[in-house]
Amino acid sequence: MEQKAIRDLSLEQLKQEMLLHGEPAFRAKQVYEWIWKKSVRNFEAMANIPKTTREWLNAEYSLRCVEVAEMQVSTDRTIKSSFRLHDAHLIEGVLIPTRERMTACVSSQVGCSLTCSFCATGYMDRKRNLEAFEIYDQVVLIRNQAQEKYGIPLTNIVYMGMGEPLLNYANVLQSIEMITSPDGLGMASRRITVSTAGIAKMIRKLGDDQVKFNLALSLHAANDEKRNRIMPINETNTLEALTGALQYFYEKTENEITLEYIIFNKFNDGLEDARELWEFAKKVPCKINIIEYNPISQADFVNAEADAIAAFSGFLESKRMVVNVRRSRGKDIDAACGQLAGKK
């Protein structure tokens, strides 16, 4: 008989399982705390649970823990991990250390269905969505790396790894619930950013659900013709649709919105491109992250020249936009933005 995934159960469901087995109801709360607050990886570690109960749990249930299959450390201290799931699929996550923060970049799907032409994950098939506990496990494992390697606690989480988070909506929100809950990791929602390629109706749903975390839109071009060429999702989620969705999201949540803009040489790095970005950005309260392009073998894009980036960001700043130029980290181990591909 196949073991059941115990982390699929809510506290109330776990309580019912305990009662059916003749255990006291309070035992569910104890087990739940071991699983989510203390992040144990086996039932034997549950020290205050009777041995007979642990043996029953071990026979009936599985924690299906995510394992570190391989770990690489960049010259800039970025750590990329290949994570093995219970069904042998591989995903990748990254610890990004900077002077101000320790950030975990986590995946939400095995592969991706969106086929963005500049992203290594976009050249993979989407195998399946990640379960909420598989996303949670990435955070726990990367948090442990931050403590063990650098002695610094994790400060931020970005859902910017493999996959489109808003196409795994329920599991992504459930994972954030366990990461932020006092019964889980207890991290602050404002320290979490979910990045989307732009699914307008799901951005509106985030607004309806009045989420507390931050939202980032991977924009990369501010006219439909160019964006269609590099991001086919734009054909059904136009810039006009995204503008309306972002405005709705902000009205409902007043949460920070970030526009992410990978800048490619001779494609989207001109002053006309900067003007188009300003025209889009001024319609919604936001900040703009200009991101270096990180080459991948499947595509011919090249990062913009330094003077073009300076002129581009200078134009936006002259329009009183909040602009950050993000330097890539972990490029030497294929851990930078757009390079994750779950390589074996």
Distance CA 92, CA 163 (A): 11
Give the pLDDT mean for 143-162. Answer: 95
Give the pLDDT mean for 153-175. Answer: 96
Q: C-alpha distances in angstroms, 324 versus 129, 189, 209, 308, 318? A: 32, 22, 29, 15, 14
Confidence at residue 124, expressed as pLDDT on a 0 to 100 scale: 82
How many C-alpha atoms does 23 have within 13 Å on its Cβ side? Answer: 21
Distance CA 115, CA 221 (A): 16
At the topology level of CATH, where does 4-62 sit?
DNA polymerase; domain 1 (1.10.150)
Residue type present at position 150: Y
pLDDT tier at 344, thresholds 50, 70, 90: very low
Give the pLDDT mean for 101-111. Answer: 95
Q: Which residues are catalytic?
A: 92, 337
Phi, psi of 148 (to 5 degrees): -70, -40
Task: Tell whether the model's pLDDT for residue 333 goes beyond 90.
Answer: no
Residue 310's CB: how many other CB atoms inside 10 A? 12
Domain 67-333 belongs in CATH node 3.30.1490.270: no
Kind plus residue range of the DSSP H or E element containing 195:
strand 192-196
Domain range annotation of the chain: 4-62, 67-333
Q: Which two tokens stand for residue 1?
A: 């008989």
The least confident of 44-48, 70-74, 200-204, 340-344 is: 340-344
Confidence at residue 334, expressed as pLDDT on a 0 to 100 scale: 60
Which residue is associated with the tokens 């305990």?
Answer: 18
Q: What is the pLDDT of residues 52-105, one digit of tens each?
A: 999 999 999 999 999 999 999 988 899 999 999 999 999 999 999 988 899 999
